[in-house]
Every structure is written in C-alpha cells, then in structure tokens.
Amino acid sequence: MTDSDGYGRYSASGPSDPYAGTYGGAGGYGSPGTDPYGVPADELGSAGSSASAAAAPDPYASSAATAAPGYTGPEFGSGALPYGGPAQPQYYVAPPSSGSATAAMILGILSLTCLPLAGPVAVVLAVMGMKATADGTQGGRGLAIAGLVTGILGTLYLIFVVLWILLYVVVGVWAVGTS
C-alpha cells in the first residue's frame, strides 16, 4: 500500500505523479519543445505551423490601413516630430522684489532686536511695499507682510519702552518732590 494522493489515502496501484499534466508534464507549462514567447497553437490557424504566423501583419508598420482615422502624422524617418515634438521646459521668472518691502522687513527685524526707533519706519515702508506688490508687477508681498508684522511688534516695543521711561521719570520726580 502506498500513499497515492499525498493526503493519507492509500491505494494498491502505487504512487502516481502529482505533477502530471502541469509543470514539465505533457501539455503543461514548461513542456519541452515549447517556446514560452511564441504564438499559442490555437492562434496559428488551421495549418498549425509558424508559416501562418509569419503572414501576420507587423504591428509596428506604419500604413494608412493601420493608422487611426483622421490621423495624417509624419511617417517614420521623415524628420518631423508628431504632436509638435518634445515639450520644452518652461521657466517661470519671478517679478523683481519691491525695495520698500525688503527694507520694511529688514527694519522690522532691527526694531525687534536692537533699534526700536525703526519700528514705525518699517510699518510705513511695509504699507508702501504692499501697495507696490498688489498689482503683481513686483514681487515681495511676503516680505512686506513680514515687515508689517515685525514693524508693528517693534512699534509696540518702542511704546512700551517710552512708557517705562516716562513712568520711571514720573515716579523719580514724585519721589524727590515728596522727600
């Protein structure tokens, strides 16, 4: 008794080939003498030979019969490129930045760090820069907005410093006057 099907069922006939008719078997995948890239036998025609396959039209040939209806493109080798040729890269040239917007941003940053008096000047230049960049002929709108924000913050810092100094002077004068 032998295991004939591999699943524990035994028969008296002996082992059989579990791969018969498939991989490497007669008529299966990978059968000897078959071309895996060839034309299948059912497409060869009634003759069953490769002579009828050789008579098949060339799919890469250019002719009026195989062309799309209404297409009158150039033939291969004529030098003309179909559909206008390869696309050329398109480069976008940004408009020049507004000088007042750039100056507003620089003065706004300076007003936050070391020069508080530059804050109001940065706000004025930022408004001029935003007007200059509104129509799109000049770039730098983001610079103008950054200059406006930093200029406003610098101006608020300047007001705070001035009020602190005034408070210090008033309290000092009051303290001296009461003693």
**Angstrom distances, CA of residue 97 to CA of 13, 75, 86, 115, 144:** 92, 49, 33, 24, 10
Q: Is residue 5 pLDDT above 80, yes or no?
A: no
Q: Is residue 172 pLDDT above 70, yes or no?
A: yes
Query: What does the longest C-alpha to C-alpha distance in the chain come to?
Result: 128
pLDDT of residue 27: 53
Q: How, if at all, do strands 10-11 and 2-3 pair?
A: antiparallel
Nearest Cα residue to 62 out of 82, 85, 42, 43 = 82
pLDDT of residue 140: 94
- Rounded CA gap, 139 and 131, in Å? 11
Mapped onto helix, strand or coil, the DSSP state of residue 58 is coil
Q: What is the pTM of this model?
A: 0.49
Q: Where are the beta strands (DSSP E) in the chain?
A: 2-3, 10-11
Q: What is the mean pLDDT of residues 56-73?
A: 61
Looking at per-residue pLDDT, the higher value among 138 and 43 belongs to 138
**Angstrom distances, CA of residue 13 to CA of 6, 7, 26, 31:** 14, 16, 21, 26
Looking at per-residue pLDDT, the higher value among 125 and 57 belongs to 125
- The sign of the torsion formed by the CA atoms of 67, 73, 77, 82 equals negative
Q: Is residue 135 pLDDT above 70, yes or no?
A: yes
